[in-house]
Structure 1
């Protein structure tokens, strides 16, 4: 069996549904923590807009899960009562199944992703970054965030991106989908502001914990903004 990771985006429209989704940030953990075949999960809120933002977006939530196999993951989404509850409330649900290509660092004290040998040269790529920011570095970090994200939208090959996190302000994660590995590399290593952000991270030691992981999507279900973002790419 090969490990599979899923990332699910939920969108909520009405005030009642947004309030329900916010309450599930506390209430859902009892069910999510006891799912057979799930080795790691994070239920996260998101930031406003399509880059990382300290102000919350109460309409969008993201569920990241790591599974022992694709078969187990598909069974969860086909039969889980908690998924049904989310689907009944959400206006849109988009789930991507993916295998890990590389992963460096820690998330809540562990590295949950096991790389699977794949052809890394073709097809779309998903990047997930996550960090716990030191309390004494919060102001300096958030002052620089807008500048570090400045080149993101202008970078060719970006399909989708969203900032997310378990705890506002302190936990920062980004989820980005790219047409190919070359597009991701251009942003990571050729973007002036992003290069400066990497240098500042090393010099100023903003993070108490950090992780960078790269994935290859293998299946996409549902829609986002009325379409399937990875349609025709898998």
Structure 2
């Protein structure tokens, strides 16, 4: 079963942040030689809640798609690019996912294959867009309201905004304890739904992708803990 991994790395020192900038080229060579990966992206992040155009030079992410969960876990544990990034990072966390639904394209590809596997537990949502240069001011004008809403939401277990190119590319990634909490955030009338309406009416995106995932598990820590622990305590 195809498995998606999203790995987050925090680089606290100035030297480590300079180092990871250089990895934007070196890591591409690593992934080009990996036999089990079918799609991958190296991403920076935004400051604050992450959903802003201002880069956060401390936090970086690697998204990768693997042929199965075993391949994903082996690579995260032992592949040179991941061990190298962890050795320079002050903290790292990886979440493993299976795709429940996906529509749209990313860099001209449909990277996520839907599965029929569904079970109780946390779900993740990912949206990715290439913003038209003429729509940049309109799009980023919507983001403060969405950031404030998701920041106030007590249900969300994890949230971040990442992207390959500042301003032009935006990926929002969030994890929710269940489908009910995820759908309630996106309900009609809220800032998220209003932003989607304006995007549709204005044709702001050159390319877009929306996907939902089942969370299979995670490894590592973020902010000193496993972000999924809250969901595990609730389930217990």
Instruction: Tell me whether 1:138 sits opposite 2:136 in the alignment.
Output: yes
Partner of 2:19: 20
Partner of 1:148: 146
Segments of 5+ residues of structure 1 without an aligned counterpart are none
Give distance in 2, aligned partners of 1:232 and 1:176. 14
> What pairs with 1:102-141 in structure 2 (closer than 5 Å)?
102-119=101-118, 122-141=120-139
Does the CA contact (< 8 Å) of 2:4 and 2:98 recur in 1?
A: yes
Please state how far the C-alpha of 1:51 moved relative to its aligned partner: 3.6
Give distance in 1, aligned partners of 2:164 and 2:189. 27
Please state how far the C-alpha of 1:232 moved relative to its aligned partner: 6.5
**Which is further off, 153-162 or 13-22?**
153-162
Does the CA contact (< 8 Å) of 1:39 and 1:66 recur in 2?
A: yes
Partner of 1:60: 59
**Which is further off, 21-30 or 104-113?**
21-30
Please state how far the C-alpha of 1:34 moved relative to its aligned partner: 2.2
SS at match of 1:153: helix
Give distance in 2, aligned partners of 1:228 and 1:190. 31
Partner of 1:220: 218
Give distance in 2, aligned partners of 1:33 and 1:128. 24
Segments of 5+ residues of structure 2 without an aligned counterpart are none
Aligned residues: 232
Does the CA contact (< 8 Å) of 2:157 and 2:230 recur in 1?
A: no
Instruction: Tell me whether 1:49 sits opposite 2:41 in the alignment.
Output: no
Give the 3 Å change call, closer, same or farther, for CA 147–78 of structure 1 in structure 2.
Answer: closer
SS at match of 1:9: strand
**RMSD, aligned CA:** 1.4
Q: By percentage of residues, which structure has more helix?
A: 2
Q: TM-score, normalised by structure 1?
A: 0.95
Q: TM-score, normalised by structure 2?
A: 0.94
